[in-house]
């Protein structure tokens, strides 16, 4: 939710910030803005719409310091006035902000009494005004400190002072990372914003305040302890190409094509660490998974997997976790799964679990993210940069790592690695097959005008049906509902009319026969049956063949045609698959 980028240095800050915003657009894309200093003047530019569409960089003057923001609206409608940066009455203090200032109303009232005039509907605007108020009797640094201490809520904030050209940033619950370049310093919500300039980073912790004085000088202080901190510089291993579309028209298709590599990287884990975590899982009498959205579906697949061998395993959407916490004790291992590591509900669930004394293992993609810092154990899913708002390769990475952990508890991690690498090669063959792709495109054309789709699966593929429905809803704006096959006759079947498209996920195993019976029942009520499995069946009107694999591994292959289907339906309907409406890649606010 919202992306922040700031730069101070010897290169042109205006173009660095504009380009950085383009890399951050997946975090919010309803409006954007930048302020840069040139000849002691502050130049402010704010626009509604996507920054990717902005062509006017060459009309902006160069600068050595700039801050920018791409917005996902929370307080106040989408408008130029509400977009960031926001500024003080004298236009000397500029602020970009990600998160929510919970006590903004009382601060606003206090400032209005002191003759501050507000122009936007946002919570953010109180920040520059409060700094301005403190600035009357304090230095820029002290004014920011005093202001940050008064803000309630979760946020990342970057402030630019027109007088000194200095930048100050802080975080509490929302991400903010510092980049250390040879020619300047960066602050951003996420590393890809400046990865083309530097891979040296400092991950700021909650309560840290960084003061960028010039191109190479900065100070980091903790707001509570007031101590100056000397923080470790990390090196990011993601390649810049991963954060670029390259030869692909969209990140979505690029990231789908990267799935085979993502699976290989997910199973490439440090053996010692893996066996330590496998021991931990073995010793824990209970496992409980938490996550949101797609990551939640990977968790649900994990619940089926571990339950199948008698391990007591629970799952809840992270936002619902507090309802189940009373049933869990210190012996439970909580497993949190998240691509971004910044999803607010997952973070809150982990914090609550830790307060109760549970140990937490997190499976995360983004290095240095909040979840990696607050968990007791962390395994990286190693998917690489994922920019498309729809999670694709990260889902496969999450599933693969969970499956690898499953193998590991039987001391079979090597076999797990081998089996998963084989699947990665099979998926690669599918993705390279022209026939397979043209079949999916044909189905996409057929489904693009449909209003409803139903998805049926059982057992290990019940989570696949949920993920199928989510991908088609969010990427194609088609109402899609998922059901466990056994639920069909308990109500759902009433929705089936002549021609209603129904996707059936099939895999070898105990439930194959029952799922086929469901297909038959749907077909006899007029449904158009789209079967995904390894053998064409007589009731299928449309069949998509995926490799035959063991039942518990089938979620990995069955989801592949769906990811492509969602992509191609989006194209058919003229939807930008990378940035569907109303969404943002990481949900960092409640």
Q: Provide the minimum distance between the beta carbon of 441 and ligand F6R in the complex, in angstroms, as a whole number.
A: 21
Q: Per DSSP, what are the bridge partners of residue 294? A: none
Q: Interface with ligand F6R by CB under 6 A: which range of 251-259, 290-298, 402-410, 573-581?
A: 290-298
Q: Which of 2, 292, 299, 502 is catalytic?
A: 2
- Rounded to a whole number of angstroms, the CA Rg of the chain reads 25
> Per this entry, what is the length of the chain?
590
Residue numbers 345-364 binding ligand F6R by CB under 6 A? 346
- To the nearest whole angstrom, how small is the minimum distance from the Cβ of residue 96 to ligand F6R? 22
Helix 413-432 and helix 554-572: axis angle, to 10°? 30
Nearest-CB residue for ligand F6R = 293
Q: Any contact of residue 189 with ligand F6R (CB under 6 A)? A: no
Compute the least distance from the CB of residue 343 to ligand F6R, in Å: 3
Quick one: which segment of 221-229, 232-240, 277-285, 291-299 binds ligand F6R (CB under 6 A)? Answer: 291-299
Q: What is the DSSP letter of 241?
A: G
CA neighbours closer than 13 Å in the CB half-sphere of residue 55: 0
Minimum CB distance to ligand F6R, residue 379 (Å): 14
Give the one residue of 31, 313, 338, 465 binding ligand F6R; rule: CB under 6 A.
338
Q: Which two tokens stand for residue 558?
A: 């069955």
User: Where in 365-424 is the site for ligand F6R (CB under 6 A)?
Assistant: 390-391
Contact status, residue 529 vs residue 517, Cβ threshold 8 Å: no
Candidates 121-129, 338-346, 351-359, 564-572; binding stretch for ligand F6R (CB under 6 A): 338-346
444 binds ligand F6R (CB under 6 A): no
- Which is catalytic among the residues 8, 292, 585, 590? 585
Q: How far apart are CA 173 and CA 98, in angstroms?
A: 10
Residues 222, 79: Cα–Cα separation, whole Å: 35
C-alpha span between 269 and 8 (Å, rounded)? 37
- Contact window for ligand F6R (CB under 6 A) among 83-91, 169-177, 267-275, 340-348: 340-348
Q: Which residues pair with 45 in a beta bridge?
A: 34
3-state secondary structure of 549: coil
Cα–Cα distance for residue pair 67/491, rounded to 1 Å: 54
Q: What is the DSSP string of 469-518?
A: HHHHHHHH--EEEEEEGGGGGGTGGGG--TT-EEEEE--SSTTHHHHHHH
Q: Which is nearer to ligand F6R, 339 or 382 (CB)?
A: 339
Minimum distance between the CB of residue 3 and ligand F6R, rounded to whole angstroms?
Answer: 14
DSSP letter at 374?
A: H
From 254-262, 273-281, 301-309, 337-345, give the range in contact with ligand F6R by CB under 6 A.
337-345
d(CA 461, CA 553): 9
C-alpha 87/C-alpha 124 separation (Å) is 9
Give the count of alpha carbons within 13 A of 327, CB side only.
Answer: 12
- Binding of ligand F6R at residue 476 (CB under 6 A)? no
Among 19, 82, 199, 343, binds ligand F6R (CB under 6 A): 343
**Among 224-232, 289-297, 299-307, 483-491, which window interacts with ligand F6R (CB under 6 A)?**
289-297
User: Based on CB atoms, which residue is closest to ligand F6R, 145 or 255?
Assistant: 255
Binding ligand F6R (rule: CB under 6 A), the pick from 96, 167, 587, 589 is 587
Residue 227 CB neighbour total at 10 angstroms: 10
Q: Give CA–CA dist 431/366, Å, rounded.
A: 26
If the CB atoms of residues 63 and 338 are measured against ligand F6R, the closer one turns out to be: 338
Nearer to ligand F6R, 66 or 587 (CB): 587
To ligand F6R, the closest distance from the beta carbon of 336 in angstroms equals 9
Rounded CA-CA distance 384/365 in Å is 7
- Between the two ends of the chain, the Cα-to-Cα distance in Å is 10
User: Given candidates 12, 14, 424, 586, which one binds ligand F6R under the rule CB under 6 A?
Assistant: 586
Would you call 77 a catalytic residue per the annotation? no
295 binds ligand F6R (CB under 6 A): yes
Q: Which helix H or strand E contains 212, and what residues bound it?
A: strand 208-214
Binding to ligand F6R (CB under 6 A): which residues in 451-470?
Answer: 470
Kindly tell me which of 336 and 527 has the beta carbon lying closer to ligand F6R.
Answer: 336
Question: Taking CB under 6 A as the rule, does residue 292 contact ligand F6R?
Answer: yes
Q: Is 283 annotated as catalytic?
A: no
Give every CB contact of residue 175 below 8 A, 6+ residues apart in sequence.
98, 156, 189, 190, 342, 369, 370, 588
Listed ranges 335-343, 431-439, 485-493, 550-558: which one lies at the site for ligand F6R (CB under 6 A)? 335-343
Q: Name the residue nearer to ligand F6R (CB basis): 340 or 507.
A: 340
Query: Measured from the CB atom, is 220 or 470 closer to ligand F6R?
Result: 470
Q: Is 294 in the site for ligand F6R (CB under 6 A)?
A: yes
Q: How far is the CB of 314 from ligand F6R (least distance, A)?
A: 18
Q: 64, 174, 316, 340: which one contacts ligand F6R (CB under 6 A)?
A: 340
Q: 432 CB contacts (<8 Å, ≥6 apart)? A: none
Count residues binding ligand F6R (CB under 6 A).
Answer: 15
Cβ atoms of 109 and 130 closer than 8 Å: no
Least separation in angstroms between residue 306's CB and ligand F6R is 20
Q: Identify which of residues 212 and 318 has a Cβ nearer to ligand F6R in the complex.
A: 318
Question: Where are any strands of DSSP class E within 17-111?
Answer: 31-38, 41-48, 65-71, 86-87, 93-101
The token duo for 438 is 């043209």
Contacts to ligand F6R by CB under 6 A: 292-295, 338-340, 343, 346, 390-391, 470, 474, 586-587
Q: Which residues form the catalytic set?
A: 2, 585
């Amino acid at each position: 939710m919202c992306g922040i980028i700031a730069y101070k240095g010897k290169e042109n800050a205006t173009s660095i910030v504009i380009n950085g915003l383009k890399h951050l657009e997946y975090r919010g894309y309803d409006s954007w803005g930048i302020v840069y200093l040139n000849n002691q003047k502050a130049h402010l530019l704010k626009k509604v719409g996507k920054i990717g569409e902005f062509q006017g960089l060459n009309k902006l003057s160069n600068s050595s310091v700039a801050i920018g923001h791409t917005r996902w609206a929370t307080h106040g409608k989408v408008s130029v006035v509400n977009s960031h940066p926001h500024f003080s009455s004298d236009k000397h203090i500029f602020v970009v902000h990600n998160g929510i200032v919970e006590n903004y109303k009382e601060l606003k009232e206090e400032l209005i009494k002191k003759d501050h005039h507000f122009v936007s509907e946002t919570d953010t605007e109180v920040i520059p005004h409060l700094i301005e108020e403190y600035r009357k009797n304090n230095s820029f640094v002290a004014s920011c400190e005093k202001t940050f201490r008064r803000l309630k809520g979760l946020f990342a904030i970057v402030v630019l002072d027109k007088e000194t050209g200095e930048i100050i940033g802080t975080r509490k619950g929302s991400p903010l990372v510092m980049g250390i370049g040879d020619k300047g310093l960066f602050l951003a919500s996420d590393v890809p914003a400046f990865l083309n300039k530097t891979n040296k980073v400092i991950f700021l912790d909650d309560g840290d305040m960084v003061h960028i004085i010039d191109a190479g000088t900065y100070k980091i202080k903790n707001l509570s302890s007031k101590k100056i901190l000397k923080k470790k510089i990390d090196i990011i291993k993601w390649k810049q190409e991963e954060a670029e579309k390259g030869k692909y028209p969209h990140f979505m298709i690029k990231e789908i094509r990267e799935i085979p590599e993502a699976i290989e990287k997910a199973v490439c884990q440090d053996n010692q660490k893996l066996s330590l975590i496998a021991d931990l899982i073995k010793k824990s009498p209970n496992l409980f998974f938490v996550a949101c959205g797609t990551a939640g579906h990977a968790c649900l697949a994990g619940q089926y997997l571990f339950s199948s061998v008698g391990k007591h395993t629970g799952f809840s959407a992270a936002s619902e976790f507090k309802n189940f916490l009373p049933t869990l004790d210190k012996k439970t291992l909580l497993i949190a799964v998240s691509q971004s590591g910044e999803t607010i509900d997952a973070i809150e669930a982990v914090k609550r679990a830790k307060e109760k004394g549970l140990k937490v293992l997190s499976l995360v993609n983004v290095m240095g993210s909040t979840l990696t810092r607050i968990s007791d154990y962390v395994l990286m899913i190693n998917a690489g940069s994922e920019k498309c708002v729809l999670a694709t390769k990260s889902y496969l990475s999450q599933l693969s790592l969970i499956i690898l952990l499953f193998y590991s508890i039987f001391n079979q991690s090597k076999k797990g690695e081998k089996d998963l690498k084989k699947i990665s090669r099979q998926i690669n063959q599918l993705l390279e097959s022209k026939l397979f792709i043209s079949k999916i495109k044909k189905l996409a054309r057929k489904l693009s005008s449909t209003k409803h789709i139903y998805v049926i699966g059982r057992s290990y593929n019940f989570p696949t049906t949920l993920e199928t429905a989510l991908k088609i809803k969010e990427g194609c704006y088609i109402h899609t509902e998922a059901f466990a096959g056994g639920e069909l006759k308990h109500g759902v079947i009433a929705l089936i009319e002549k021609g209603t498209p129904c996707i059936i996920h099939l895999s070898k195993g105990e439930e194959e026969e029952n799922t086929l019976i469901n297909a038959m029942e749907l077909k006899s009520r007029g449904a158009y049956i789209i079967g995904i499995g390894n053998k064409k069946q007589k009731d299928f009107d449309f069949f998509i063949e995926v490799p035959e694999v063991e039942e518990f591994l089938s979620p990995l292959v069955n989801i592949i045609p769906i990811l492509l289907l969602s992509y191609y339906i989006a194209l058919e309907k003229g939807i930008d698959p990378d940035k569907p409406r109303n969404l943002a890649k990481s949900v960092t606010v409640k």
